[in-house]
Amino acid sequence: MQLPRVRWHIAVFLTPAVLIYSTVMIFPLFNTLRLALYAKVDQERVFVGLENFRTLFFDPIWSEQFWNALGNNFWFFLIHMLVQNPVGIALAALLSHPRLRFAALYRSAIFIPTVLSFVIVGFAWKLILSPIWGIAPSMLDAVGLKSLFAPWLGKEEYALTTLAMISVWQFVGIPMMLIYAALLSIPEEILEAGEIDGVTGLAAFWKIKLPLILPSIGIISILTFVGNFNAFDLIYAAQGALAGPDFSTDILGTFMYRTFFGFQLQLGDPHMGSAIAGAMFAIILVGVCLYLFGIQTRMRRYQL
Amino acid sequence: MKSKFMLTALAGTALVATSALAEDVTLTVESWRNDDLTLWQDKIIPAFEASHPGIKVKFTPSAPTEYNAVLNSKLDAGSAGDLITCRPFGASLALFEAGHLADLDDMDAMGNFSDVAKSAWQTDDGSASFCVPMASVIHGFIYNKDAFEELGLDVPTTEDEFFAALETIKEDGSYIPMAMGTNDQWEAATMGYNNIGPNYWKGEEGRKALIAGEQKLTDAQWVAPFETLAKWADYLGDGFEAQTYPDSQNIFTLGRAAIYPAGSWEISGFNAQADFEMGAFKPPVKAAGDTCYISDHTDIGIGMNASTEHPEAAQTFLSWVASPEFASIFGNALPGFFPLSNAPVEMNDPLAKEFVSWRGECESTIRSTYQILSRGTPNLENETWGASAAAIKGTETPEALAEKLQAGLANWYAPQQ
């Protein structure tokens, strides 16, 4: 009849993580949300309730910028979903082919850009695509396609897509690695059983492997979503805080930065900036919830 | 044993710290002029430290486009330097109103400056000055003298001559007529719109009328600069849409372009880079004999962080900045930044001399968007960047751009409503 022992070690092991996480993540998050409810009037910080959000969504000047940034953000996300993830899956499928030689070399080469800094990626690609010093125009020239070249980063209609493709180039290694791992974990017996039933080659991929890696694809999609809606670095490194040309590459991250910290003669407004940060948080939260409750719970899982 | 050692170590550091405090005061200067780092370290700071023992100065610049953001967060966090390089107008006024910049009216040395020079760093009613004016920059065009000689071109003075010269260079084909890109947007506004604009809106007359609400950005004299900029596109290099500011600088200093729409701040950099002779001409006027207007923009001041720990030392430094001695060091160490103090400064650099000589021939004005008009949302200066870039690229008509700017300004600025 002994009382259950108090398991101190649980508390002891949890405390450091909880403390650090609270001070550097949870507190700043809620403080930012709180900051969004204030405004500066005559050097005094006053509580204004949801006024900042009303300005952000309904004032014609603010809302135009906000919807522009949100629209651009969705386009940015769409390109990643349509290009990065299918290419990542295709690369993983190729890499997991048992007869592929130098698989390790390809794997590392494709993954390397992921560990590069945004600044390096932005700068390198700006140079590659530069109409003046870049190698892109001369490479196209060498194959007689010079006419296809345009100063992509400087044209409203191409700039965002170009940046999205650069980002895809940088991060395609992540879906590739995750899917590759998922593909390797599929037992040989299942594939062999399929072969006996006459399911081979591409059919084996579509009918056996793909259903088995769907949960990984779901995780990749949600990681892409969160990553894209928090994106800022690449656009800032390549196009600056004004996200030119003419705001065509402005996404929520750059819009928030410009508003929060100010730019050139524009003064920073931490309160409106926090309101934008709050909106970003809400968008990501809704997206993640939709995925968690709408998709993941319905996804079929197979016992391997 | 161990604790005893710790004690002595602690006492030791404490002693060192206090003695250092008694000996030297270190002043930190916040600035966006990272290009000037070596000049400060090699010329300005040694000159000051030689005549003011006991005060050490550290120059800690950040990137120009990030300066305001970085400075504001540092000031709010209380970690900003003792001396603050002041942007003209709105940004610094906001810092003063927020109590970050000290009032400098009691400083005797402020008498060394004209009212116009001080106006960029005063409250609207002129009752308080908070930065010592350091320098202004003048806009114009720098050209490659060798290229002009080779093609037998004369320096253009009227707009027709200007475009004729561009046409000749283009036809010849060995040089890009003009080195400018629209990728970074600000060159289009600063070196384009505000460079040629004063000739159309008649400098101060138009600028003040705009502030007073007597003229609108949709008036002919404010639309015309966009119309002229639209004609520039034919003479910029291939792919100018993605050409950045450093690209343009390099194209010109490598001798690949003949004309560079410039601000005088380029002079020292260009002198170091270019191995051909350069000249400068002022923004061309419409018809020969018209009064010319130049943008002689009060660009840099320096003020004191109101919460500095060394106010006396900082004041000493500021008084020195206001002195003729500093003006002559600065003006010659940084040709292209023209000191604003009343004491005349003899320039050695021929290009800088050329720029500064226009002060005698033309009416001076400052950039139209800087005073008062860029205080609200949307920010007129930032909007003008986009509009000027769009005008050059031809993505919108000059009228539509002016319409948009006017609507933005009228949105918050009462005299324009």
* A251-290 confidence digits (pLDDT tens): 999 999 999 988 877 878 889 999 999 999 999 999 999 9
Q: Which residues contact B2 (CB under 8 A, 6 or more apart)?
A: none
Query: How big is the A-B interface in CB pairs under 8 Å?
Result: 120
Q: What are phi and psi of B30, to 5 degrees?
A: -90, 135
Tell me the shortest Cα–Cα distance from A60 to chain B, in angstroms: 10
Q: How far is B273 from chain A (nearest CA, A)?
A: 18
Nearest to A132 among B65, B247, B408 (CB): B247
- Contact across the interface for A130 and B242, Cβ inside 8 Å: yes
Instruction: For chain B, list residues with pLDDT below 50.
Output: 1-3, 5-21
A156 touching chain B per CB within 8 A: yes
A130 in B contact zone (CB under 8 Å): yes
How far does the CA of residue A69 sit from the closest CA of chain B (Å)? 16
Residue B364, beta-bridge partner list:
B294
Name which of B241, B248, B406 to mutate to probe chain A: the one with the most chain A Cβ atoms within 10 A of its Cβ. B241
Q: What is the mean pLDDT of residues A208-229?
A: 92
pLDDT in tens, A47-64: 998 999 999 999 888 999
The answer to whether residue B63 neighbours chain A at the CB level (below 8 Å) is no
Q: What residue type is B263 in one-letter code?
A: G
Partners of A153 on chain B (C-beta within 8 Å) are: 183, 242
B280 min Cα distance to partner chain A (Å): 25
Option in B182, B238, B382 nearest A263 (CB): B382
Q: How confident is the model at residue B18, as a pLDDT?
A: 44
Is pTM beyond 0.90? Reply is no
Token match 């992509």: residue?
A152
Look up residue B354 and give its two tokens.
């050329």
pLDDT at B193: 95
Per-residue pLDDT band at A243 (split at 50, 70, 90): confident
Q: Answer yes or no: is the ipTM higher than 0.90.
A: no
- With CB atoms and an 8 Å threshold, state whether A244 touches B389: yes
Contact check, Cβ <8 Å, A43/B393: no
- Judge contact between B39 and B271, C-beta under 8 A: no
In chain A, what residues touch B378 (CB-CB under 8 Å)? 61
> Which residues of B are less than 8 Å from A132 in CB distance?
237-239, 243, 247, 251
Q: In this complex, is the C-beta atom of B181 within 8 Å of any C-beta atom belonging to chain A?
A: yes
**Cα distance from A261 to chain B (closest Cα, Å)?**
5
Beta strands in chain A (DSSP E): 38-41, 44-47, 262-263, 266-267
pLDDT digits (tens, 9 = 90+) for B269-317: 899 999 999 999 999 999 988 999 999 898 899 999 999 999 999 999 9
pLDDT value at residue B330: 87
Test mutation, B183, B373, B375, B412, chain A, max A CBs within 10 A = B183
What digits encode the pLDDT tens for the residues A123-159?
999 999 998 888 998 899 899 888 888 889 988 999 9
To the nearest whole Å, the CA of A18 is away from the closest chain B CA by 26
Specify the pLDDT at position B23.
63
| pLDDT score, position A1 | 56
As a whole number, mean pLDDT of residues A243-256 equals 92
Half-sphere exposure of A302 (CA within 13 A, CB side): 14
Q: What percent of chain A has pLDDT over 90?
A: 62
Residues of A with Cβ-Cβ distance to B176 under 8 angstroms: none
**A154 close to B237: Cβ distance less than 8 angstroms:** no
Contact assessment for residue A245 and residue B393, using Cβ atoms and an 8 Å cutoff:
yes
Cβ-based contacts of B247 with chain A (< 8 Å): 130, 132-133
Asked if B77 reaches chain A (Cβ–Cβ under 8 Å), the answer is: no
The model's pLDDT over B195-236, given as tens digits with 9 standing for 90+, comes to 999 999 999 999 999 999 999 999 999 999 999 999 999 999
Of B65, B99, B242, Cβ closest to residue A264: B65
Name the residue among A149, A245, A261 with its Cβ closest to that of B389: A245
Q: Which chain A residues in 56-75 lie under 8 Å from chain B, judged by CB atoms?
A: 61-62
Residues of B in contact with A263 (CB under 8 A): 65, 68-69, 382
Q: Which residues of B touch A149 (CB under 8 A)?
A: 239
Query: Phi and psi (nearest 5°) for B294?
Result: -125, 150
pLDDT of the residue at B335? 86
Direct distance between the N- and C-terminal alpha carbons of chain A, in angstroms, rounded to an integer: 43
Chain A residues inside the 8 Å CB shell of B89 = 265
- Residue A187, SS3? coil
3-state SS of A118-157 is HHHHHHHHHHHHCCCCCHHHHHHHHCCCHHHCCCHHHCHH
**Spatial distance between the Cα atoms of B57 and B27, rounded to a whole number of angstroms:** 5
CB-based contact, A43 to chain B, within 8 Å? yes
What is the predicted pLDDT for the residue at B21? 46
Q: Give the residue on A whose Cα is nearest the Cα of B90.
A: A265
User: How far is A108 from A110, CA to CA, in rounded Å?
Assistant: 5
Which is nearest to B282 in space by CA: B274, B271, B293, B291? Answer: B293
Note the pLDDT of residue A303: 65
Query: In sequence order, what are the residues at sequence separation of 6 or more whose Cβ sits closer than 8 angstroms to the Cβ of residue B361?
Result: B282, B292
Taking Cα atoms as reference points, which of B31, B50, B43, B112 lies closest to residue B322? Answer: B112
Closest Cα in chain A to B32: A264
DSSP string, B3-68: HHHHHHHHHHHHHHHHHHHHH-EEEEEEES-GGGHHHIIIIIHHHHHHHSTTEEEEEEE--GGGHH
By C-alpha distance, which of B98, B107, B63 is closest to B78? Answer: B98
Q: What is the DSSP string of B23-36?
A: H-EEEEEEES-GGG
